[in-house]
Amino acid sequence: MNSLELAGYLDALLDIAEIKDSANAVNGLQVQNKGDIKKIGLAVDACLSTIVMAKDAGCQMMFVHHGLFWGGNQPLRGKHFEKIAMLIENDIALYSAHLPLDMHPALGNNRALADLIGLQGLEPFGVYSGQKIGLKGSLPALPASELKQRLEERLGARVLLAGDREVRSVGLVTGGAGDILRQAVEEGLDCYITGEGGNHNFHEAEEGNCALLLAGHYATETGGVKSVGKHLQERFGTEFVFLDYPTGM
């Protein structure tokens, strides 16, 4: 199948048309190619380094969470030109899914993180742009410090903890969603997990009696692209490779 056919399948799978997102996210096929898709490179970020990795791995397409056009209209020059030129010169298509990938009930970043920590009784949580983009659920009672250790071991990333306490109920939104902490506090959840936050979130967690775990923007958003890659392999036999380029943030 070619990039247009695969993009059409992904658009329907991820409900691209219906999910609200930043206009600059440009969800869907961002760069087309000419040939058939036999190998897909999966990455959190469409940066120059992951594009080089995709080229070296012999990929005909990249599937990413953070695409190329966050700055809106911009001239094709400098590194922006270099990235797009490398894709075109090497006949590599690029497909990006931001909030649609976060939110997917089976393949999304939030579902992958919830499964990673064994969260049960999942329900939608965390309103952003009028829609719930995260999940909440329950765990057998454990200290937040123990949940922190579990995340570090399973994500392979450093995790920051504020407001240590016993945890039974957890809300999570992957990526940079520190300010959704206040919704976790309002709902009386014991813990909130996200990728990154601000200095003020530390005090909100302590004063709101809600443990806050910051597990890294990158680390919390590797699960979705991997899940989609496995799905495409099972559905179409398409080979995939995870292009791991961690930022540590």
**H/E element holding 146?**
helix 144-155
Is 221 labeled as ligand-binding?
A: yes
- Residue 136 CB coordination number (10 Å): 25
What end-to-end distance do the CA atoms of the chain give, in Å? 36
Is 56 labeled as ligand-binding?
A: no
- Identity of the residue numbered 179: D
- Identity of the residue numbered 114: A
Is 179 labeled as ligand-binding?
A: no
Q: How far is CA 90 from the centre of its chain?
A: 26
Residue written as tokens 């992951």?
Answer: 50
Is 11 labeled as ligand-binding?
A: no
| 146: its two tokens | 């123990």
Is 66 labeled as ligand-binding?
A: yes
Inter-helix orientation angle 223-236/109-117, to 10° = 100
Feature table: binding site: 65-66, 102, 217, 221
Feature table: binding site for a divalent metal cation: 65-66, 102, 217, 221
